Structure 1
Amino acid sequence: MVCIHFLLYSIKLFLGILVLEAPKGVKIEYEIVRPDEGSCFRTLHQKVPISSLFWQYHYHPEIELTCVLNGTGTRHIGNHLSNYTGGDLVLIGSDLPHSGLGWRGSDPHEEIVVQFRREVILPYTDHFPEMKAILRLIERSRFGILFSGRTKAEATRRLETMPGLPPFERYVRLLEVLQYLSQSQDITLLNRQALQSAGIDKHKSRLQKVLTYVERHYHEKIDIRKAAELAAISLPSFCNYFKKTTNITFTDFVNQYRVQMACLQLQEDKTVAEICFECGFKNVTYFNKVFKQLLGVTPTAFRKGIKDG
């Protein structure tokens, strides 16, 4: 399993910023989701060639429950990238960037997608204790949740009949499925290292200036003194502030962001050396070392894994 740390996107989302385009032309599109007629949410049953589906890395305020009934592909949810076979079941939180499941997959592909706003659940949480577990599930969905085992099988069975139900029964089924999922132990958080929002909201402007600096200059020499200047605090204070706010050092953040950009370029025909220097690393040896520390494989092995699917 390979996990790419799209860390800047995660930070920006916790800052409440709409990220419409990543650096160097890597676009993150905003998807407009319209509820079904006579319903407060959207239900899709898609059984079409994967080439006709929407694989662009995108986000939307709606929470998304995707159940792949048949097919293989790649999950790209937040900062997580991994393959799956034999179907899939994931809950994707509001504004969490993701690609359509089945990306880089093979036919036949069949899926049921349910997209709903948090407000669909909220009216009941203050008055009905029974709904508290669903609310906790929704809160955890910001990390992306993978369901497996018996939970996956049973939830899939319930979701399969959902598209054909009348609007009211479909809404009741959604609550039923969410309640069932909220009790499950067969879960994996796909972004366990996601940043905590606590503390970030308090310093939006200060941190945003630093992130923008890295985003625009990662391919050049990054000066930590310049970052401290943008944050309007002393260098020692900046080092402590950044680590406390993001749970990593500024140097580690820059390296992770550069490796993230390298992962995108490794899908092209450039040499590893070219990518190394274009992403701001000064020598290939150090680039290889940092890349392997973060992802567990060398850039060459990572590229081979992409080609092998």
Structure 2
Amino acid sequence: MGTPNSIKLEKIDFKPGRSFRLFSPRLRNTFFWHYHPEFELVWVEADAGIRHVGTHISTYTRNDLVFIGGNLPHLNFDYRVRSEYHQVVIQLRTDFLGTAIGTTPEFAGIHKLFKKAQYGIAFHGTTKLSVGGQMKDLPRLSPMHQLLQLISIFNQLANAEKHEQEVLNTGLTSTNFIIRDKIRMGAIYEYIDAEYHRDPDVNEVAKKVNLTTPAFCRYFRRQTNMTFTEFVNQYRIERAKSLLIQDNNVSETCYAVGIGSVSYFNKLFKDIVGVNPTEFKRLYDFDTFEDEGTLD
């Protein structure tokens, strides 16, 4: 379980002569709620996982592609992934491309993309699959060809169709996440993750972040546009989607996420997802369901 000082400022080391870092982390059993000044592009392949960027939480299935701006808190995308999985992460120096990104006309679209990344951007459809494939190929290229390919990738993301890109924190600017709020929200998210399947207590979490319960409720609503109970229930449903995809039945899933009534679980699930759990599972099994669900 987290503490109010549990959020991490990740220190990123770059090899000499390199403007970016390319690697494949494996942290599946670690709740690594963190931030860093560097931009980050993440591709992950897994049966199901949690996408947690800023105040946005959602599930992804099969694969995910997210571009994250500097100092925007996020959770590792392989947290509690149960299947085999593969990740490609690219972290960029804060001076990536230098002043050219803001002054070279050909980089105008990429410059705009980087500004929008302060909110976090998820990509879908053909853009996601195409860029994911290119990122998987990067380790086989020389450093110079990696850089050229990376510029091509960012150009493709900058020109993606509107319906294939999703801004994850529409009501939030990354500058609103001052250090105190990063620490508080990190502690709150860790508490929810540890307790969602039991009975999370708003009074207990308020004490953990040194607020009275009324002050905490106001603070939490201001940060997430939801009450604490609404957020916990939606977190439970996002977890339930992952369990259903992993072939758990409806009853097992209901009790595993801390909901004591199957009928209430079915209603809550349909209210949030749009279909009931059985239908969600059937549609997923037949590969016709959208591969993401959103909780904002």
TM-score bin (small chain): 0.5 to 0.7
Which 10-residue stretch deviates more, 235-244 or 220-229? 220-229
Q: Deviations over 1:37-88 (max 9, x none)?
A: 98645789xxxxxxxx99997999773486xxxxx9979682353579xxxx
Q: Deviations over 1:266-290 (max 9, x none)?
A: 2456542333223221312211111
1:204 to 173, 182, 185: 182
Aligned match of 1:81: 60
- Specify the SS of the correspondent of 1:144: strand
User: d(CA) in 2 for partners of 1:170 and 1:91?
Assistant: 19
Describe the shift of the 1:181–1:233 C-alpha distance in structure 2 as closer, same or farther (beyond 3 A). closer
Aligned residues: 257
- Code of the residue aligned with 1:247 in structure 2: it is N
**2:123 counterpart of 1:145:** yes
User: d(CA) in 1 for partners of 2:96 and 2:161?
Assistant: 22
Q: Deviations over 1:282-309 (max 9, x none)?
A: 3122111111111112122222234334
User: d(CA) in 2 for partners of 1:252 and 1:123?
Assistant: 43
Q: Deviations over 1:1-38 (max 9, x none)?
A: xxxxxxxxxxxxxx99459xxxxxxxxxx9x9998x98
Checking the alignment, whether the CA contact within 8 Å between 1:63 and 1:93 is kept in structure 2 is: yes
Aligned match of 1:239: 217
Describe the shift of the 1:239–1:300 C-alpha distance in structure 2 as closer, same or farther (beyond 3 A). same
User: d(CA) in 1 for partners of 2:187 and 2:280?
Assistant: 32
Identity %: 25
Describe the shift of the 1:116–1:275 C-alpha distance in structure 2 as closer, same or farther (beyond 3 A). closer
What are structure 1's unaligned runs of at least 5 residues?
Answer: 1-14, 20-29, 45-52, 67-71, 105-112
- Code of the residue aligned with 1:182 in structure 2: it is A
Describe the shift of the 1:127–1:191 C-alpha distance in structure 2 as closer, same or farther (beyond 3 A). closer
Which 10-residue stretch deviates more, 209-218 or 130-139? 130-139
Structure 1 residue 175: deviation in Å?
Answer: 3.0
Checking the alignment, whether the CA contact within 8 Å between 1:276 and 1:287 is kept in structure 2 is: yes
Q: Deviations over 1:219-271 (max 9, x none)?
A: 22222222333333333322211110122211111101111222233245654
User: d(CA) in 2 for partners of 1:281 and 1:269?
Assistant: 18
1:302 to 270, 276, 280: 280
User: d(CA) in 2 for partners of 1:205 and 1:43?
Assistant: 27
**2:230 counterpart of 1:252:** yes
TM-score, with structure 2 as normaliser: 0.60
**2:189 counterpart of 1:189:** no
Checking the alignment, whether the CA contact within 8 Å between 2:102 and 2:108 is kept in structure 1 is: no
What are structure 2's unaligned runs of at least 5 residues?
Answer: 52-57, 288-296
Correspondences of 1:1-309 after superposition (within 5 Å): 17=7, 40-41=19-20, 63-64=40-41, 78=51, 79-81=58-60, 92-93=67-68, 97-98=76-77, 115-119=90-94, 121-124=96-99, 128=103, 130=105, 131=107, 133-141=109-117, 142-146=120-124, 148=126, 167-168=143-144, 171-172=147-148, 174-179=150-155, 181-186=157-162, 188-190=164-166, 192=168, 196=172, 197-201=174-178, 202-268=180-246, 270-309=248-287
- Specify the SS of the correspondent of 2:124: strand
TM-score, with structure 1 as normaliser: 0.58
- Specify the SS of the correspondent of 2:113: helix
Checking the alignment, whether the CA contact within 8 Å between 2:20 and 2:96 is kept in structure 1 is: no
Describe the shift of the 1:176–1:298 C-alpha distance in structure 2 as closer, same or farther (beyond 3 A). closer
Aligned match of 1:23: none
User: d(CA) in 2 for partners of 1:42 and 1:308?
Assistant: 38
Describe the shift of the 1:114–1:308 C-alpha distance in structure 2 as closer, same or farther (beyond 3 A). same
Give the number of the structure with larger relative contact order, counting CA–CA contacts within 8 Å between residues 6 or more apart. 2
User: d(CA) in 1 for partners of 2:246 and 2:50?
Assistant: 21
User: d(CA) in 2 for partners of 1:136 and 1:167?
Assistant: 25
User: d(CA) in 2 for partners of 1:184 and 1:297?
Assistant: 29
Checking the alignment, whether the CA contact within 8 Å between 1:143 and 1:194 is kept in structure 2 is: no
